[in-house]
Chain A
Amino acid sequence: MAAEAHTIDALGQFKLTTALGPLGASVNFTQSNLMMVISGLLILGLMVLGARPQAVVPGRLQALAEMAYEGIRKMCIDQIGDEGKAFFPFVFTLFMFVLIGNLLGLLPFSFTYTSHIAVTLTLALTVIVLVTVVALRIHGLHFFSYFFPPGAPVLLAPIIVPVEIISYLSRPVSLSIRLFANMVAGHVMFEVFASFILMMAASQALGSFGVIGAVGPMALNVALMGFELLVAFLQAYVFAILTCIYLHDAVHLH
Chain B
Amino acid sequence: MRPIGLLTAAAMSVFTSVALAAEAKEGMPQLDFKNVLLKSQVVWLVIIFALLYVLLSRWALPKIGTVLEKRASTIEGDLNAARGAKASADAAVAELTAKTREAHAGAQAAIANAVDAAKAAAASQTAMLTARLDAQLAEAEGRINVARNAAMGALRQVAAETASVVVTRLTGVAANASAVDAAIGSALTARGLA
Contacts and interface: CB of A to CB of B under 8 A. Distances in A.
B4 interface: yes
Interface in A1-56: 7-12, 14-18, 27-30, 32-33, 36-37, 40, 43-44, 47-48, 50-51, 54, 56
Interface stretch (A151-159, A161-169, A184-192, A207-215): A184-192
B46 interface: yes
B42 to A, nearest CB: 5
A93 B57 contact: yes
Given A30-B37, A32-B41, A44-B56, A51 B19 contact: no
Contact of A16 (B18, B35, B63): B35
A148 interface: no
A33 B52 contact: no
A188 B15 contact: yes
A202 interface: no
Contacts of A69: 61, 64-65, 68
Interface string B31-68: 10001111111101110110111011101110111111
A18 B37 CA distance: 8
A172 to B, nearest CB: 14
Nearest to A180: B30
Contact of B45 (A10, A36, A115): A36
Interface residues of A, number: 61
Contacts of A90: 53, 57
A48 B59 contact: yes
B67 A185 contact: no
B60 A36 contact: no
Contacts of A54: 66-67, 70
Interface string B166-193: 0000000000000000000000000000
A70 interface: yes
B56 A89 contact: yes
A16 B44 CA distance: 13
Nearest to B36: A28
Interface stretch (B21-29, B99-107, B127-135, B139-147): B21-29
A231 B4 contact: yes
14 contacts: A11-B26, A11-B29, A12-B29, A27-B40, A36-B49, A47-B56, A47-B61, A62-B67, A69-B61, A90-B57, A118-B30, A119-B45, A184-B30, A185-B8
Interface of B: 4, 7-8, 11-12, 14-15, 18-19, 22-23, 26-31, 35-42, 44-46, 48-49, 51-53, 55-57, 59-61, 63-68, 70-71, 74-75
Given A7-B22, A40-B48, A185-B8, 17 more contacts: A10-B23, A11-B26, A12-B29, A16-B29, A18-B37, A29-B40, A30-B40, A36-B49, A44-B60, A47-B56, A48-B59, A65-B64, A122-B46, A123-B45, A184-B11, A189-B14, A192-B14
